[in-house]
Structure 1
Amino acid sequence: MNETYVECLVKRKTPGYMSFLKILLIMLTVGFVLVGMVFIIALIPAILFGVAAYFVYMNTDLEYEYLYLDRELTVDKVMAKSKRKRAAVYSLDKMEIVAPVKSWHLDNFKNRQTSKNVDYSSGEEKQPDKRFVFYYEGNQKVIFEPSEEMVKAMQFVAPRKVFKD
């Protein structure tokens, strides 16, 4: 049996407005709890703001885990280093092309209308840019940020689909 196993973890950059929203919701929760000590009715908004702050916190501290195993790429979303959710599973056989974001190999796909664009990368353009794009089943464009080892494993299996430039 010739199985290839590669794992990669990428931290998502938190947008500034989400950090501001998280702090604002925490402050509103504390404020309404303090007011709720005098007026009991103010505890209802305190609970609502607390729940909202929890969900904003869970969605601002995101990491994506890529797992490549035997011609299949699995993407998991890790929220606040405590909760894991399966985001997607992609088969290498159904991928049309895998190439860096600014690759000339993607020129034929630039004008393609895709019904779904998904970004599983860190969300920022680094120098050098390590993000890759693949088109899946003709209708989905996926951006991800694999390690060099993962790209080599994918290229070993499908050399005419995977490019490193």
Structure 2
Amino acid sequence: MDDVFVERLVARKMGPKEMGIKALIALAAVVLIFVSGTLGAFLMPLVAAVALVGGWYLWVLTNMEYEYSLSNGDLTVDAIYGQRRRKNRLEVNLRERLELMAPLSPRYQSELSRACVRVLDVASAPNADNRWFLLLRGENGLTRVIFEPDQRMVDAIRRCAPSKVQTEW
């Protein structure tokens, strides 16, 4: 059997929630700088510097990307915050646990309406064009993963579990 490795990086688009978080970070930094003016000549520059550096650090962390890696039937999804911190969101062997993979379209509404214990949305935006879903069997029930694979990844997953991948929109 051939070794398969496919990787895709998807940048999360900013929505209202992310914009609100960034606005709160900026507002908190500005308030801290103004409040530091009442602390005296020694503490004011220190608090202002901490507010600016902390605000910048939090601002950068709100930029998020998702990395999908498929290696010999094992799918790994990581969230990357500010191009610095990585958090594993999903690690699954598709040959053992994949029940269905299909495009997110009205044609598969009955499969999408199935009760799931966990729903993991790792797509760039809720209304992105090329979204697919995975239904994964788990110990506690089904998990639904919504993601944006490219054609190479779809083909590689089809090679891992050919009867489980539906490609018709």
TM-score under structure 2 length normalisation: 0.80
Structure 1 residue runs without a partner (length 5+)? none
Q: What is residue 72 of structure 1 aligned with on the other side? A: 74
Aligned CA RMSD, in angstroms, stands at: 2.7
Aligned length: 161
Describe the SS at the equivalent of 1:39.
coil
The verdict on how the C-alpha distance between 1:110 and 1:35 changes in structure 2, with shifts beyond 3 A counting, is closer
Report the Cα distance in structure 2 between the residues aligned to 1:149 and 1:34, rounded to whole angstroms.
53
Report the Cα distance in structure 2 between the residues aligned to 1:23 and 1:54, rounded to whole angstroms.
14
Report the Cα distance in structure 2 between the residues aligned to 1:96 and 1:2, rounded to whole angstroms.
23
Report the Cα distance in structure 2 between the residues aligned to 1:24 and 1:121, rounded to whole angstroms.
25
- Letter paired with 2:23: I
Report the Cα distance in structure 1 between the residues aligned to 2:106 and 2:5, rounded to whole angstroms.
26
Q: CA deviation at 1:13?
A: 1.3
Asked if 1:112 corresponds to 2:114, the answer is yes
**Percent identity between the two aligned chains:** 29
Report the Cα distance in structure 1 between the residues aligned to 2:37 and 2:109, rounded to whole angstroms.
62
> Which has the higher mean CA deviation after the structures are superposed, 140-149 or 84-93?
84-93
Report the Cα distance in structure 1 between the residues aligned to 2:17 and 2:77, rounded to whole angstroms.
26
Among residues 98, 102, 106, which one is paired with 2:105 in the alignment? 102
Report the Cα distance in structure 2 between the residues aligned to 1:146 and 1:136, rounded to whole angstroms.
16
Among residues 142, 146, 155, which one is paired with 2:145 in the alignment? 142
Q: What is residue 156 of structure 2 aligned with on the other side? A: 153
Structure 2 residue runs without a partner (length 5+)? none
Q: What is residue 35 of structure 1 aligned with on the other side? A: 35
